Structure 1
Amino acid sequence: MEPFWLTNFDTNIQQLLAGLVNPTRTQIFSTLAFFGSPAVDVVLTLLLAGAFWIRRDWLIAVWIALAQLGGDAVTFVVKELVRRPRPLGQLIKDTGFGYPSGHTFSTAILVLTILFIIVPLLEDQEVQLLVSLLAIVWFGVVAFSRVYLRDHFPSDVLASLLLAIAWWEVARVAYIYYLESDFKFLKTNLMKGEN
C-alpha cells in the first residue's frame, strides 16, 4: 500500500495534465518519447563512445558506454525488485513496470554525459551554454512525455531522476579516481606500445 501523500502527489499532477490531452499533443509526445527511449539513448551513447574511440580516447569511450549500459542494468534490476504497476489509462500502451522510468533514467545519463564530457571540450562559451540548455530541455521534454502519456506516475519520473543522479555520482567518482589518475598511466603506455 502506497502512502497517502505519494498517491495524492501523483493524482494531483495527473489531474492537472488531463486537461492538456489532445490527439495532436499525444502524437507529438509519443514521437518525443520514442527518441528519448532507452534503446535510442544507448545507440546515441555508443555513437558518442565510438567518436571517442576513433579519437583514441579509449578509456573515456569505455567509461561512457559503461555509464549508460550499467545504468540501464540498474534500472532493469530495480524494476524487477520494486514491480510498481504503471498508471491506468495510458495514452500509448507501454509494458513492464512503472518504476524506474527507463526513458527518464537513460536520458538523464546521456544528458549528464554530454554536460560532463562534451560541454567542457567546446571552446566557445556561448556554444557550451547552448548545448547545455538544449540537453537540459531535452531531458525535461522526455520526462514530461512519460507523465503526459500516463506511462509513469509523476513520482516514478522524479524518483527515476534521483536514481539516475545517484548512479551518475558512482560513475563520476569512478571517472575521477580511476580514469583521471590510474588510466593516464595505462593510456601513456598503450600509446607508447603503438609507436
Structure 2
Amino acid sequence: MESTLNAGIAMAEAMQNQLPWLEKVWLWVTFLGDPKNLYLFYFPAAYYASRRVGVAVLWISLITEWLNLVFKWLLFGDRPFWWVHESGYYGQAPAQVHQYPSSCETGPGSPSGHCMITGAALWPIMTAISSQVASRAHSRWVRMMPSLVYCTFLLAVGLSRIFLLAHFPHQVLSGLITGEQPKQQDGDPV
C-alpha cells in the first residue's frame, strides 16, 4: 500500500511543481465541486428550472452524503498531506508539497466526497439538460456536450483534490466510481 500512497504523493508533487500557475483554477474547481454547494447553488437552480430535477438533486445529495460518511468510517484512508508528515516514509528526502486550506481536512479520506456526492447529485441535472439538447439538436456532437461537460467537470474536481493534497488518486477514483449513477432505461432524466 505504501507504494500506492507514494505514487499518489509523487503525482501531487509533480502537479504542484510543474503546474503552479493552475493553483487558482484548482482552488476554484474544488470550491465548485464542494458538496455544500449542492445545497446552496445547484439544488435551488435545479428546483427553479424543474421541480422534479431539483427534488432528485436534493435527495441524491442527502443519500450520497450519508453513504460517503459510512464509507469513510468503513474504509478510513489517510489524507495525503498528513501521511507525508506522519508516515516517516519521506524522512531523508522530504516531498516538496505545499499545504492549502483543503489540505487541512483531518477526517478519513476514502472515498472522495467531492467526487462521489457531487458526481451523483449532478447526474439528474446532466441528464435533464441532455434530454433537452437531444430534442433540439441534430448534431451528435452537440447532443454529447452535456455528458462531456459533466465528465470534464468531475475529472477536474478529482485532479483539484489531488493537487490540493486532500485525497490520493485511488480515493478520487473510488469517489467517482461510488458516485456513478445507473443508466436509465426509458431515457427519463430522473
Length-normalised TM-score, structure 1: 0.70
Letter paired with 2:34? S
1:29 paired with 2:3, answer no
Residue 21 of structure 1, CA deviation: 4.5
The counterpart of 2:149, out of the listed 134, 153, 161, is 134
Residues 129 and 146, structure 2, Cα contact 8 Å, conserved in 1: no
Letter paired with 2:117? S
Match of 1:19, SS state, is helix
Taking a change above 3 Å as real, the CA distance of residues 119 and 78 of structure 1, as seen in their structure-2 partners, is same
Residues 33 and 145, structure 1, Cα contact 8 Å, conserved in 2: yes
For this pair of structures, how many residues does the alignment match?
165
1:67 paired with 2:60, answer yes
Residue 107 of structure 1, CA deviation: 2.5
Unaligned regions of 5+ residues in structure 2, if any? 82-96
Alignment partners' CA distance in 2, 1:49 and 1:78: 28
Alignment partners' CA distance in 1, 2:47 and 2:7: 38
Alignment partners' CA distance in 2, 1:36 and 1:6: 25
Alignment partners' CA distance in 2, 1:111 and 1:90: 30
Residue 162 of structure 1, CA deviation: 1.1
Unaligned regions of 5+ residues in structure 1, if any? 181-195
Match of residue 12 from structure 2: 14
Alignment partners' CA distance in 1, 2:179 and 2:151: 14
1:80-159 alignment runs, 5 A limit = 80-88=73-81, 91-94=99-102, 95=105, 96-122=107-133, 123-125=135-137, 126=139, 127-159=142-174
Match of residue 41 from structure 1: 38
Match of 2:78, SS state, is coil
Alignment partners' CA distance in 2, 1:14 and 1:129: 31
Residue 71 of structure 1, CA deviation: 1.0
Alignment partners' CA distance in 1, 2:98 and 2:10: 16
Alignment partners' CA distance in 2, 1:87 and 1:116: 34
Q: Which has the higher helix share?
A: 1
Residue 34 of structure 1, CA deviation: 0.6
Alignment partners' CA distance in 1, 2:58 and 2:13: 38
Residues 147 and 153, structure 1, Cα contact 8 Å, conserved in 2: yes
Taking a change above 3 Å as real, the CA distance of residues 28 and 62 of structure 1, as seen in their structure-2 partners, is closer
Structure of higher CA gyration radius: 1
Length-normalised TM-score, structure 2: 0.72
Deviation digits for residues 105-161 of structure 1 (CA, Å, limit 9, x no counterpart): 123114432333331122233543222222221111111100111110011101111
Residue 17 of structure 1, CA deviation: 2.4
The Cα RMSD (Å) is: 2.8
Residues 143 and 157, structure 1, Cα contact 8 Å, conserved in 2: yes
Alignment partners' CA distance in 1, 2:147 and 2:5: 34
Alignment partners' CA distance in 2, 1:61 and 1:32: 22
* Bigger shift: residues 121-130 or 100-109: 121-130
